[in-house]
Amino acid sequence: MADIELRELRLFLALAEELHFGRAAERLGLTTSRASQTLRALERKLGGLRLFDRTSRVVTLTTAGHALYDELGPVVTGLDNTLTRARTRAAGLGVVRLGVLNAASGTTVLNEAVKVFEAAHEGAAVRLVATPLNDRLGPLRRREVDLSVTRLPLAQSDIVIGPLLSEDDARVVMVAIDHPLAGRDQVSVEDFADYPVRRPADVPELAEASCPSHTPSGRPIVPFDAEVNDISELLLLIARGRLIHPTVAPFAEHFRHPGIAIVPVRDLPPSSSALAWLAGSEHTARDAFVAVVEQVVAAHRRPDPRR
């Protein structure tokens, strides 16, 4: 028996579903005459088995055709799915570019998610990209990164907020070790009015959450009057006593400096961090990674049955 080709089986299945040579041929990108030739070749290879009854107006499946369709349909569908998965594995999901300002934000969740994602998708990778200190959302909007780690609250109409990476991160202030606030067990927002303060200028809601524009008594909090371009410059300015920097504990601990003290702030609410991406953008690898992050977050929140 001559070898039967997959294209012949696809033609049979299409014709069995359409019961019309013209529509079946169009569906497969063939001419009607080519579709007829392909069917005749298949019937010949099956030992002269007639699969369709054909008249000038009607095409119907024979009993043998019905039986072949019922058995062959799931087989070809399964083969198509197998080939699709193989092509996906060969091409790979590619690289997910993840923008981070502070690598310590959500480290536990992110590290685990990256391992799971890269193990599950051959050839896929997550690449960390440093986010500018004064332009944390710019890389997302310029499509230089696919995802970004951000502090909350964040209310930007073009940015989608995804799964939380960390919750209840304590608020602290970074000051020089010889600063008047350095020896305290804790400080208040009221104390910020007495010193130049670094407030993030690029996202107003984040700035207000980390350091309000006024103290509880109504005194204005004066921002540091010069631009700070990167984290190294920020740390140097803090250590020299030029400014104080309200932030979160993970940032302060990650960028711990011998000339800087970290003091808790008692009257600012804890902070959370989350993944964010550009609204309306499509990215298969990004979405796959976000799904893994959501799974990891859910697993971390699940109660331990041993307790």
* pLDDT tens figures, 123-155: 789 999 988 888 888 899 888 999 999 999 999
Q: Given a cut of 80, is residue 93 above it in pLDDT?
A: no
- Report the chain's terminal Cα–Cα distance, integer Å: 66
CATH domain 6-91 topology: Arc Repressor Mutant, subunit A (1.10.10)
Asked if residue 92 lies in contact with residue 39, where contact means CB atoms within 8 angstroms, the answer is no
Superfamily of domain 171-269 in CATH is Periplasmic binding protein-like II (3.40.190.10)
In this prediction, residue 302 carries a pLDDT of 57
- If one compares 207 and 264, the residue with the highest pLDDT of the two is 264
Asked if residue 173 lies in contact with residue 195, where contact means CB atoms within 8 angstroms, the answer is no
Greatest Cα pair distance, the chain, in angstroms, is 98
* Residue 149 host element (H or E): strand 147-151
Q: What is the pLDDT of residues 206-219, one digit of tens each?
A: 889 989 999 999 99
In this prediction, residue 225 carries a pLDDT of 81
In this prediction, residue 285 carries a pLDDT of 86
Average pLDDT of the residues in 211-233 = 90
**Domain 95-168+272-301, architecture per CATH:** 3-Layer(aba) Sandwich (3.40)
Residue 206's SS3 state is: helix
pTM of the model: 0.66
How big, in percent rounded to 5, are the helix, strand and coil portions of the chain? 40, 20, 35
Q: Which 8-state DSSP code applies to residue 51? A: -
Q: Given a cut of 50, is residue 306 above it in pLDDT?
A: no
